[in-house]
Structure 1
């Protein structure tokens, strides 16, 4: 005969006046976490109490009920109700729904309190995302949702963005096949097809860190901080129909612009408009480009314009500002700290006075007719207009204009143009412009670095060496003296030296993009501008001016001028006498190494970093692995040796970012750059690589092997 199953009896529920309830000391929750009491009180006021309190009768010494009830489970709800009573938004005797436990039960109050908190199942984040999305679909705004759940609008936007990810990827996340951080990374783009395509490509790969997902989704976009984007403006770009990818989960510097072709077209149109406006001033030519190479004005004569005169009103404003500045300084001369409003006003006065110093420059009409203008974008994304440059063929002064019959000057056509036409050379806009290097074929021999890459690297080294020499006068004197000795004493040959003293500055016919924005280039330009502003305008006054300088000033100026003679460039030697011979180039590099050692040149300190553009994407895979092995250690090289070249170069850039690794042409002569990482790795019982990292590469394993050592790479 079957045994009857004993039926359980649930605890009864009833409404108990609030003033008959007290907190129990058996509540296990001690640490405050999650929603605050104030926020919970507001939520109860909005939608009433959603969950009953768990209470037990309070018994007297004889075991009889006293009419009071203690709360072992639901203490936070009780405190929220207590706050509403204190705020007089709830009556003291308001009935509170409660589940009343039998006082005769053998289950402890602490047991109930613990079970209520432990047995609950937290809402899966995906359910929350979809719930927010359902609320929005039913007409709730993001602000309404944020107010209802006591969170920020940005958090609501984040949840809604997560809910908009491809349903296929949300299912993967729900099944724990993807982390929340990875899901966040996919929200960078709204293209669900692209999201699914990328996940399919990386799902079986080790390369699926959130930062890698973001990089892959934005690899064909342009950062909003790019000079082109800043120049055009996000509003204008979006008004033209361009899309912007935004990352709601981490700082994205304004996002990524998707339509690069549209951005380039807007840049070209804006630059052309600016050039046409400047053309109306009557310049002979205007050259337009997004980015001009370093030294693009070399060999051109720069006009000396006159700053526009101040009007009487402007002069009066300047005097008033200076008087106010002096008065404020005098009033607070002995103060330890200036009041905020006074400090702010002094800053405003300084800014206003600085604006008066930036006066427009006026050129003579005859000079304008034979000179030109460079129009581009500077590193901060603002319009760059550099006026007043004369090409060598235009340095002959223009003829005096003939007189009309009425005595007025006749309008002279320049270069055969009609008098009424603006004589402006057609602007040419060049954007990007670097010739792509062919992909290296895999083989078993390490090939020499490409000549173009060597020249680019040594161009940057030459600039850094010039900068160092310019601030090391003692070495500059010695380097020049060394060259003088070679010239004066017949037993020496003066060919093939790094100090090309005339002073004749070597140009950089081959250079990487952005060379003019390197720290060395900026330091040289700033120093040059400072000296140029001090030099007398008239050449006949120069000698006396130099004589009046102190010894330290002369030494500093000497070092600055001498630094322009540095030539540490590698170039392909001409064995047939048409240019520098291989032996001459070899001597030049060796000579440059001596100077670099004397000034303690450090290309890492000078700002060079191994990136895909500067080095890693320009060399074979074997050289990439060699760089990672030297800079980050053998284990780091093993982790990427199975990748294709493009991915390998990107990962190598990340691994080498802070290692201080340099390619051979940028190292100090005789310095070995073996990674210190390997020295710290244990020799024995090394952890085995995962199987998917230890497998053979699908491609041929190595690009190359060791090559003959080049002097230029020392």
Structure 2
């Protein structure tokens, strides 16, 4: 219900809901009112004797300026025409003003904030504006950004997505620090990365293994992104707690397995694909499940086949299947047989724990067969996991160097294409013409290089910009890029296409590894400067490999020391030297 009436100018005040907030020059409007009077009434709602102008802020500013200059038209001296509405109706109508005027979103944020500051609840604001409470919460979160962040957003320095990323913290000083750290390159993935340092994604392997309920029960905190849906909307703020809980849970698994009577339990690395080498499965007499166990087995199998099952359900189902299958396969072993055998447990990259019971060492080969086996194993003192680790380090270091050197990336691309064209059959080289991106969270912490998060952020930023509807749109977009951005995109694509990683030391990719050496020399990769072997890596080495490494570093006579002592001694030496193990040293020496 609205009505038009006349109200003294002194009783009119700008309402917080006013979208424009009366910005800009009003000289032209003053001239129009002075000659033609006020053609449109001010839109107001009443608060006591005060008329709150929610639409017409510039007219109000012009009227007050004319009054101050004593040039107000005579017909307005006693009062100005206003259209009075109910407050809720006025708020809803102000949404139309946002759309009609094409105002910057920052003005909308501030208008909502002004209503909150006047004592309106988010529910009432949502009802008045015709939006749900989640949308109100999002807008108020944006309105609470540091003034410098809002001003930079309104000035067009970065996108709405980047502004939303800043809301991950309410600490204005931290927001300012991140803005400065971005150094003019303010992209949503980069802002999120900086604000979530020291946090854990619930999708990471240790978080999945621990489980949300256990983490929360231990006092773990959460950071919720109001602008993201699903599991990605949450981060766990205490990564140290996640690691401690995972260690404790794994220790409990080991304890329970030993209580079953197994002679040993070995915890494998996530990417240890050669775990069964040299072992054989011990089989006992088959054991049948009772009716209750069979029902539990069938229910667990059904959960694993159900696409909509949650992470917790999948983990519980997998554990049930592993336990019951172990009973069926190894339940018939005698206590002596179990004491001579053991268990491998492995937490994979997805956080799923696999338990493999009933393994024992194969009998040692003798004679000529033993000599061949020793000769084949001699060059590989760091195992399959160590070999994967080293080849990953070399690949990642070269990828990072390519991102920084577009000219080298161009040479790598053209040379690789030329090499493939010069041969009738594919050569199996190091460069694949695809750029899918690599999730750093899937790489064990000890195998990550310091710069890996940088290029994944660059990749995420380009993914936000690149058109995905059609190749034609993408082509036109790339053609229109400035030269320096084309060069960055080329370097990123070549770097992401690089893959010379080898999963096993006995399954080499000689052509890819040879090409990687060429790329490393072209980009000037310094492997010794990019990565230092730590105790975690060195512990994977055999005693012979550790002694040989210490000898290379000038340390003699430690042959009788325990392996843990050899690891500590070598770790201290290589931390300040440029020593590299195995395949990396040979690559550098090429």
TM-score bucket (shorter structure): 0.3 to 0.5
Which of these two proteins has the greater Rg computed from alpha carbons?
1
Structure that is richer in helix per residue: 2
TM-score (norm 1): 0.38
